[in-house]
Amino acid sequence: MSNANPDVRMIEALQGDGKGPPEPDLQPVAGDERIAVAPTIQALTPYEAVSSQAAIEAQPDHHTSFKLDWNESTVAPSPRVSEAIADYLHNGRGLNWYPKLGSEDLIEALEEYTGVSGDHLLATNGSDDALRLICSTFLDDRDEVVIPVPTYNHFMVFAQSRGAEVVTTRGQSAFDPNLQGIASAISDRTRLLYLVSPNNPTGVMYPPEVVARLCREYPKTLIVLDEAYYEFTKVTGIGLVEQFSNLMVTRTFSKAFGLAGLRVGYLAAAPSLIEGLSRIYNPKSVNTLGQVGAIAALNDLEYLESFLAEVRASKEILAKFFQERDVNARLTPANFVILRMPDVDAILQQLEERGVYVRNRSSYPGLEGCLRMTVGTTAQTERLLDRIGDLF
Ligand SMILES: Cc1ncc(COP(=O)(O)O)c(C=O)c1O
In three-state form (DSSP H/G/I as H, E/B as E, the rest C), the secondary structure along 34-60 is CCCCCHHHHHCCCCCCCCCHHHHHCCC
Distances (CA, A) of 76 to 80, 88, 124, 215, 312: 11, 19, 21, 38, 18
CATH architecture of the domain with residue range 95-300: 3-Layer(aba) Sandwich (3.40)
Atom of ligand 1 nearest to the CA of 263: 9
Strand segments, DSSP code E, in the chain are 66-67, 121-124, 144-149, 165-170, 190-196, 222-226, 247-252, 265-269, 328-331, 336-340, 356-357, 359-360, 370-374
295: enclosing H helix or E strand: helix 288-298
Atom 12 (ligand 1): residue with closest C-alpha?
Answer: 228
Amino acid at site 83: E
Give the residue range(s) of CATH 3.90.1150.10 domains in the chain: 53-75+302-391
DSSP 115: S
Q: Any idea how long the chain is?
A: 392
Q: Is 371 within 8 Å of 359 (Cβ atoms)?
A: yes
DSSP bridge partners of 144:
165, 190
Rounded to an integer, what distance in angstroms lies between the CA atom of residue 111 and that of residue 98? 23
Q: How far is the CA of 127 from the centre of ligand 1 (A)?
A: 6
Q: Is 156 within 8 Å of 162 (Cβ atoms)?
A: no
Rounded to an integer, what distance in angstroms lies between the CA atom of residue 77 and that of residue 300? 10
Distances (CA, A) of 86 to 80, 101, 103: 10, 21, 19
Residue 200's CB is within 10 A of a number of other CB atoms, namely 24
What is this structure's pTM?
0.91
> Given this model, what pLDDT does residue 49 score?
77
Residues with CB under 6 Å of ligand 1 are 71, 126-128, 152, 196, 200, 226, 228, 252, 254, 260, 265
Ligand 1, pocket-test mutation among 152, 227, 230, most atoms within 8 A of CB: 152
Identify the sign of the CA torsion 138, 144, 147, 153. positive
Ligand 1, pocket-test mutation among 154, 157, 231, 233, most atoms within 8 A of CB: 154
Distances (CA, A) of 303 to 151, 209, 309, 380, 384: 29, 30, 10, 17, 23
> Given this model, what pLDDT does residue 27 score?
60
Atom 7 (ligand 1): residue with closest C-alpha?
Answer: 127
Give the residue range(s) of CATH 3.40.640.10 domains in the chain: 95-300
Q: How far is the CA of 268 from the centre of ligand 1 (A)?
A: 16
Q: Is 146 within 8 Å of 185 (Cβ atoms)?
A: yes
> Given this model, what pLDDT does residue 162 score?
96
Q: What is the pLDDT along the chain (392 residues), one digit of tens a residue?
A: 444 454 545 544 444 454 555 565 666 556 667 899 999 999 998 888 777 888 787 877 767 899 999 999 999 999 999 999 999 999 999 999 999 999 999 999 999 999 999 999 999 999 999 999 999 999 999 999 999 999 999 999 999 999 999 999 999 999 999 999 999 999 999 999 999 999 999 999 999 999 999 999 999 999 999 999 999 999 999 999 999 999 999 999 999 999 999 999 999 999 999 999 999 999 999 999 999 999 999 999 999 999 999 999 999 999 999 999 999 999 999 999 999 999 999 999 999 999 999 999 999 989 999 999 999 999 999 999 999 999 99
In this structure, the dihedral spanned by the alpha carbons of residues 271, 274, 278 and 280, taken in order and rounded to 10 degrees, is 160
Q: How far is the CA of 154 from the centre of ligand 1 (A)?
A: 8
CA 22 to chain centre: 47
Distances (CA, A) of 168 to 41, 42, 89, 181, 203: 19, 20, 46, 9, 18
At 202, give phi and psi (nearest 5°). Answer: -90, -20
Rounded to an integer, what distance in angstroms lies between the CA atom of residue 303 and that of residue 79? 9
Q: Is 339 within 8 Å of 327 (Cβ atoms)?
A: yes
Rounded to an integer, what distance in angstroms lies between the CA atom of residue 3 and that of residue 12? 9
Identify the sign of the CA torsion 216, 228, 264, 168. positive
Atom of ligand 1 nearest to the CA of 260: 9
Region for residue 155 given its phi and psi (left: phi exceeds 0; alpha: psi -120 to 50; beta: otherwise) = alpha
CATH architecture of the domain with residue range 53-75+302-391: Alpha-Beta Complex (3.90)
Q: How far is the CA of 307 from the centre of ligand 1 (A)?
A: 19
DSSP bridge partners of 194:
224
> Given this model, what pLDDT does residue 11 score?
46
> Given this model, what pLDDT does residue 3 score?
43
| Helix (H) and strand (E) counts in the chain | 14, 13
